[in-house]
Structure 1
Amino acid sequence: MVAEVTQYLPADYAEGQFIGRAQGPDGPHVLAIRGGRLFDLTETVATSAGAVARRIFDGGRDIGAVEDGLPEGWSLLSPIDLQAVKAAGVTFALSAIERVIEERARGDASAAEAIRATLEEKVGAGIRSVVPGSAEAAELKAALIAEGMWSQYLEVAIGPDAEIFSKSPTLSTVGTGALIGVRSDSSWNNPEPEVVLVCDAHGEIVGATLGNDVNLRDFEGRSALLLSKAKDNNASCAIGPFIRLFDDGFTLDDVRTAKVELQIDGPEGYRLEGTNDMGQISRDPTDLVAQCLSEHHYPDGFVLFCGTLFAPTQDRDTPGAGFTHKVGDTVTISSPRIGTLQNTVTTSRDAPAWTMGISEFVRNLAARGLIDRI
């Protein structure tokens, strides 16, 4: 069966340029889409990180029209490989309030509803009205401290420093169509539909894709020091479908105004819908990239999740308990100019093991005579 591609691409894919990856019988391949056709770049550049770093987007072996799909036996992978995977958190006012709720509820979903009403009344308008790091934000911080309302999450929401963390190890991300993992011992969790910026080693943003920054609200709510356990688990980071490269028809301004739609379809017939509106982000994408660079270096480039406005409060089973995933949920994240990322939820324990780490990846390229084309 030929793997479909068009179902994951934006409607205007024939006018855009894209970089992606696919698993073939011999190993990973680097793909390009130009003029509505698929090209295999692997003989020229064997990693998407290398394609971005050296701007190798042209050429390659013509596979055929995009609507004809991938070759027999191929499947889409996450479009990134050697890049570092970073994420920005608490970049929207609503998500800031929800993080404070998690903290005050100590990860207990049943306590969230009452806390939410109080916080929204006392904090919501203030967070929405100030620019992070500004004098007005400092005044709001002082007022909240005086009222005993301050939180570490409000610090990164309105303070000068954004929350930037490492989401997932190199080569561990999964692509569209793959199973995505939630820890088996989590009882309060949700997807996080986000725009993911793709940057070279110098921090230049060359394009964008979509991501699901799976979040465990119970773990992080108990302690922010559990962030790594809440965020970095087997199959817990989905990215895709392709990197849409910036050109005259798709620019950073399209990212700034992007709307990312989320739909969750549960095995019992449950449906939840939501939107992440990038127009409401509190920090510009270029500021987030600059803060990610900071005093660091990313020789193979990096990708950066921009954060999300979406924080589900709709009850699923128990009144007042809010939303949490069930095994079998289908999570569909889409944006008109970027495409569709779709995954089915399982547990991180039961998801396919991550086996192609850096050493295995290098061995595969060496066996195929591609080691000098990284």
Structure 2
Amino acid sequence: MRYYRVSDQSGSFRLVVDTGESRYDVTAVKPSLTSFEDLVRSCDITGTSIDAVVTNLLDDAPTVDADTLSSNQLTPIEAEEVWAAGVTYEMSEQARENESGMPDVYLNVYEGDRPELFFKATPSRTVGSGDRIGVRGDSDWNVPEPELGIVLYRGDIVGYTIGNDVSSREIEGENPLYLPQAKVYDRCCAIGPCVVPAEAIDDPHDLELTMTITRDGETMYDESTSTAEMVRTCEELVSFFDRHNTVPETAVLLTGTPLVPDDSFTLREDDHVAISIEDIGTLENRTITV
């Protein structure tokens, strides 16, 4: 099952589940369940699996049509913090070497025991599928970074989503100490379109990942790979995330990008970025200069 967060006509939040055969408004049956976070909290108390709780509600839940879902969806989880991992794939390690005047910094992380983890976004800087991602106006080299996202509840893996770690390669390449400015700004992160419970993903390290970028109807980039190319496991990344770190109740940890456009490419206003991950869905956003 796939879980979405949408807004209704009054502006209230609602939890919608897609079973693969139809879509259901869970909040209509249980008004206390308005988000994936609410659902996880109830499962934590009862010791019941996420899908099992929702399955018991479907007989009484009204259906939701596809157009209503797509036009009203928000970030599927309002994570208090979004963090990200870097140089977890050979492709991203090589790309960051090429952009930097200090390439050994990235090689040492790629081969080192400790992963690179950095703070990425707050809820106010994060957008959902269908919303606009930001391109920095003070940078001439900006790229999307498609990533598998780990959804965490009190530090435990409860689900997976798709993330876009939009970044300025120019700013980071100038000096690695500029990483926060290259990564953290308005609309710098997209999460969505849904959350899939962890128990529904057989192996997060063996999922096909595709990114397509189109501009004025022309395909600028279209490549696929697999999360099997990741040199670290999700569990390893999480173990460093909550090490000596008081983590929020809900968080998303992005696991690094395996796809990087050529050095000659930069995002422009109104580009369309579509990121698909097997068994999860497709995160789609257009760009806007911020």
TM-score (normalised: structure 1)? 0.68
The answer to whether the aligner puts 1:304 opposite 2:257 as a matched pair is: no
Cα distance in 1 for partners of 2:18, 2:271 equals 33
Alignment-derived partner of residue 229 in structure 2: 280
The answer to whether the aligner puts 1:238 opposite 2:180 as a matched pair is: no
Q: Amino acid of the residue matched to residue 294 of structure 1?
A: R
Alignment-derived partner of residue 95 in structure 2: 98
1:160 aligned residue (104, 113, 129): 113
Cα distance in 1 for partners of 2:235, 2:180 equals 25
Q: Are the structure 2 counterparts of residues 210 and 336 from structure 1 closer, same or farther at C-alpha, using a change threshold of 3 Å?
A: same
Q: Are the structure 2 counterparts of residues 328 and 171 from structure 1 closer, same or farther at C-alpha, using a change threshold of 3 Å?
A: closer
The answer to whether the aligner puts 1:84 opposite 2:81 as a matched pair is: yes
Cα distance in 1 for partners of 2:238, 2:42 equals 20
8 Å Cα contact 2:127/2:133 also seen in 1 = yes
In the TM superposition, what is the alpha-carbon distance from 1:53 to its structure 2 partner?
3.3
Q: Are the structure 2 counterparts of residues 166 and 276 from structure 1 closer, same or farther at C-alpha, using a change threshold of 3 Å?
A: farther
Superposed counterparts of 1:181-192, under 5 Å: 181-192=134-145
What whole-Å deviation, never above 9, does each CA across 1:183-238 have from its counterpart, x for those lacking one? Answer: 0121111111111011110x221111111100110000011121111111111111
Alignment-derived partner of residue 218 in structure 1: 170
Q: Helix, strand or coil: the match of 1:287?
A: helix
The answer to whether the aligner puts 1:37 opposite 2:33 as a matched pair is: no
What whole-Å deviation, never above 9, does each CA across 1:262-311 have from its counterpart, x for those lacking one? Answer: 00001273521122420110101111111111111224121110101111
Unaligned runs of 5+ in 1: 1-16, 107-149, 314-320, 349-374
8 Å Cα contact 1:50/1:300 also seen in 2 = no
In the TM superposition, what is the alpha-carbon distance from 1:27 to its structure 2 partner?
2.7
In the TM superposition, what is the alpha-carbon distance from 1:40 to its structure 2 partner?
3.7
Superposed counterparts of 1:209-358, under 5 Å: 209-247=161-199, 250-253=200-203, 255-267=204-216, 269-313=218-262, 322-348=264-290
Cα distance in 1 for partners of 2:228, 2:12 equals 36
Cα distance in 2 for partners of 1:295, 1:344 equals 37
What whole-Å deviation, never above 9, does each CA across 1:314-354 have from its counterpart, x for those lacking one? Answer: xxxxxxx6111111111111123110111111112xxxxxx
8 Å Cα contact 1:174/1:239 also seen in 2 = yes
Cα distance in 1 for partners of 2:153, 2:136 equals 32
Cα distance in 2 for partners of 1:54, 1:102 equals 46
8 Å Cα contact 1:276/1:308 also seen in 2 = no
The answer to whether the aligner puts 1:175 opposite 2:128 as a matched pair is: yes
Unaligned runs of 5+ in 2: 44-49
User: How many residues are paired up?
Assistant: 275
Q: Amino acid of the residue matched to residue 170 of structure 1?
A: P
What whole-Å deviation, never above 9, does each CA across 1:46-94 have from its counterpart, x for those lacking one? Answer: 44333223336524872414546349xx611111114321111110112
Cα distance in 1 for partners of 2:244, 2:181 equals 25
Q: Are the structure 2 counterparts of residues 70 and 95 from structure 1 closer, same or farther at C-alpha, using a change threshold of 3 Å?
A: closer
8 Å Cα contact 1:95/1:310 also seen in 2 = yes
Tell me whether 177-186 or 27-36 shows the greater mean CA deviation. 27-36
Cα distance in 1 for partners of 2:67, 2:219 equals 33
The answer to whether the aligner puts 1:24 opposite 2:18 as a matched pair is: no
8 Å Cα contact 1:194/1:276 also seen in 2 = no
Q: Helix, strand or coil: the match of 1:45?
A: coil
Cα distance in 2 for partners of 1:344, 1:80 equals 20
Instruction: State the identity as a percent.
Output: 32
Q: Are the structure 2 counterparts of residues 53 and 171 from structure 1 closer, same or farther at C-alpha, using a change threshold of 3 Å?
A: farther
Look at both structures and tell me which one has the larger radius of gyration over its CA atoms.
1
Q: Are the structure 2 counterparts of residues 93 and 171 from structure 1 closer, same or farther at C-alpha, using a change threshold of 3 Å?
A: same
Q: Helix, strand or coil: the match of 2:130?
A: coil
**CA RMSD across the alignment:** 2.3
Alignment-derived partner of residue 9 in structure 1: none
8 Å Cα contact 1:37/1:62 also seen in 2 = no
Alignment-derived partner of residue 68 in structure 2: 69
8 Å Cα contact 1:99/1:221 also seen in 2 = yes
2:158 aligned residue (206, 223, 228): 206
8 Å Cα contact 1:92/1:307 also seen in 2 = yes
Q: Amino acid of the residue matched to residue 296 of structure 1?
A: N
Q: Are the structure 2 counterparts of residues 68 and 95 from structure 1 closer, same or farther at C-alpha, using a change threshold of 3 Å?
A: closer
8 Å Cα contact 1:193/1:276 also seen in 2 = no
TM-score (normalised: structure 2)? 0.87
